[in-house]
Structures are given as structure tokens and as C-alpha cells.
Amino acid sequence: MSSSSTPLRIEGEFTIFRAAELKPLLLDAPAPTEIDLSGVSEIDTAGVQLLMLAKQAALAQQRELRLVGHSPAVLEVFELLNVAAYFNDPLVMARA
């Protein structure tokens, strides 16, 4: 696995309706080392589960995966579900 893949920026809704579309982008080679969430307008538990799966896959493959630019929608859901510690990334809201 190459550790020099480019960051993946997710825009718009990150919900169950886009999970099938986004899953290969998050899990297939070359897998991203960074996921920019600053453009996420809505996220649901399917989106959170997909991020958790991507983080799990990265750990299993002994590669780094960082989440950056958490949008207000992402911060709200991460706080509601109490999952921020799972990702072990600093929660930094993107500035528009």
C-alpha cells in the first residue's frame, strides 16, 4: 500500500443514500490517508459507520488515516454519538 495517496474531500451529504457511492472511495486502493470533511453538509449513522470502517481498515493495513476539517454537521453528530475518541483526530472545524 502506498502512503502517498491524495486527500479525499467529501462534499454535500454523507448519508445512507451516498454510502454505496462513497464506500469504494474510502476503502479501495489507493486508500486515502486523509479525509477532508469540511464540505459535509449532513452526516448520518451510515456515514459515521463508513468512516469507522475506513479507520478500521487503515489500522488493519498499518497505515495512517486522518480526518480533517470537520464541518459543523460532522462535529454535531460525532458529539451526539460520542465517537470522536474512536478516530483519535483533533476536531477542528473548517473555516468558510
pLDDT of 57 above 70: yes
Residue ranges per domain, the chain?
Answer: 8-87
| Homologous superfamily assigned to 8-87 | STAS domain (3.30.750.24)
Report the percent of the chain where pLDDT is more than 90. Answer: 66
pLDDT of 96 above 50: no
Name the band, by pLDDT with cuts 50, 70 and 90, for residue 2. Answer: very low
The mean pLDDT value for 4-15 works out to 86
Among 26-35, 46-55, 59-68, 81-90, which stretch is predicted with the lowest mean pLDDT?
Answer: 81-90
d(CA 81, CA 61): 26
Whole-model pTM: value is 0.86
In DSSP terms, 18 is beta-bridged to: none
The closest alpha carbon to 70, from 35, 20, 33, 22, belongs to: 35
